[in-house]
């Protein structure tokens, strides 16, 4: 009984941002409705997008796991910085983990913030987009819900497989050494993957709204940071999880988006305006260990 009450209480805490994003998306729809004497029907998501959900999942997983074979020379511009940053962070993870003390206030705040990256929170947001889209006959909201759920499931599958393969210990275990292949489940951060995968789908669907883009990526960033400040993950876990979540969300959107759902979505140049920068901060003299993230819209 108490666990059920706790689950409902956690779900209620994530309702405000969910409602905010839904209202913002609905407002975008109202602003773009055609002003004609007879309302023009909106196109529905690409042929039976809902009915093809599981088929698309299989397509996604096959593409995700085979993606290393399709890398090209141009991909080095992000692979090299990501690889170097991950290596540096893994090298300094034990130092950053020990630098944080168990401050009750910080741990409580971090715990509350990280709930926005839980699977039930992301699932609730995706469902809210889908159901609201059906109620308002808004094809873009419906697609956002379907693709958001698809990105979440893909992210969860990738996260579970990598956790089982790497078996890294959590920061609280074994004096925070973060050793791999020791029956742990720290690498990568599942919350970071979830939050970034869903945020990326929403941001791409509503790329014509700076407010929705900034809100989505801000929530994902805060969730990622909270997993470190709450001593649930190392910084390298979060970096890799965030990058993978962003990549999964972007892939799902590009693979299954219906290009008839708005002028923004058909303009590929708009998507290139977003720049995501992740780089480590390491200074032994000042005892500064961390990661810096910047988004350019």
pTM exceeds 0.85: no
Mean pLDDT of all residues belonging to the chain: 82
pLDDT of residue 274: 45
| 42 has pLDDT over 60 | no
User: Cα(252)–Cα(260) distance, rounded to whole angstroms?
Assistant: 17
Range 172-194 average pLDDT: 92
Range 7-19 average pLDDT: 57
One DSSP character per residue, the chain reads -HHHHHHHHHHHHTHHHHHHHHHHHHHHHHHHS---SSPPPPPPSSTTTTTTHHHHHHHHHHHHHTGGGG--GGGHHHHHHHHHHHHHHHHHHHHHHHHS---HHHHHHHHHHHGGGSHHHHHHHHHHHHHHHHHHT-HHHHHHHHHHHHHHHHHHHHHHHHHHHH-PPPTTSGGGT--SSSS---SS-HHHHHHHHHHHHHHHHTTT-HHHHHHHHHHHHHHHHHHHHTTSS-HHHHHHHHHHHHHHHHHHHHHH--TTS-TGGG-HHHHTT-EEEEEEEEETTTTEEEEEEEEE-
User: Cα(166)–Cα(168) distance, rounded to whole angstroms?
Assistant: 6
pLDDT of residue 28: 62
Domains of the chain: 95-267 (1.20.144.10)
Higher pLDDT, 196 or 43: 196
Binned at pLDDT 50, 70 and 90, residue 174 comes out as: confident
User: Quick one: tokens of 155?
Assistant: 């992210």
pLDDT of residue 36: 44
pLDDT of residue 73: 86
Answer for the pair 64, 254: CB distance below 8 angstroms, yes or no: no
In terms of Cβ atoms closer than 10 Å to its own Cβ (0-12, 13-18, 19+), residue 21 is buried
Q: Nearest 5 degrees, angle CA 222-CA 225-CA 230?
A: 115
Q: At what angle do helices 210-229 and 15-32 cross, to 10 degrees?
A: 160
């Amino acid at each position: 009984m108490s666990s059920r009450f706790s689950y409902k209480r956690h779900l209620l805490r994530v309702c405000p941002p969910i409602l905010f994003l839904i209202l913002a998306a609905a407002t975008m729809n109202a602003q773009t409705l055609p002003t004609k004497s007879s309302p023009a029907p909106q196109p529905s998501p690409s042929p039976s997008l809902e009915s093809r959900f599981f088929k698309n999942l299989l397509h996604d997983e096959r593409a995700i796991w085979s993606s290393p074979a399709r890398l090209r020379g141009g991909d080095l511009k992000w692979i090299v910085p990501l690889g170097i940053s991950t290596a540096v962070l893994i090298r300094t993870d034990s130092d950053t983990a020990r630098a944080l003390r168990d401050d009750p206030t910080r741990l409580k705040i971090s715990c509350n913030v990280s709930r926005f990256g839980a699977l039930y929170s992301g699932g609730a947001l995706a469902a809210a987009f889908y159901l609201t889209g059906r109620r308002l006959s808004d094809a873009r909201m419906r697609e956002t819900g379907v693709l958001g759920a698809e990105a979440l499931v893909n992210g969860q599958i990738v996260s579970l497989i990598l956790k089982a393969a790497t078996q890294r210990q959590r920061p609280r275990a074994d004096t925070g050494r973060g050793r791999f292949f020791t029956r742990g489940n720290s690498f990568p951060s599942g919350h970071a993957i979830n939050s970034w995968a869903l945020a990326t789908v929403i941001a791409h669907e509503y790329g014509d709204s700076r407010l929705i883009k900034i809100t989505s990526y801000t929530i994902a960033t805060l969730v990622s940071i909270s997993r470190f400040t709450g001593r649930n993950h190392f910084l390298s876990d979060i970096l890799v999880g965030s990058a993978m979540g962003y990549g999964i969300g972007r892939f799902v959107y590009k693979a299954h988006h219906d290009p008839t759902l708005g002028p923004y979505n058909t303009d590929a140049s708009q998507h290139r305006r977003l720049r995501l920068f992740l780089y480590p901060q390491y200074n032994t003299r000042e005892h500064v260990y961390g990661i810096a993230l910047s988004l350019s819209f």
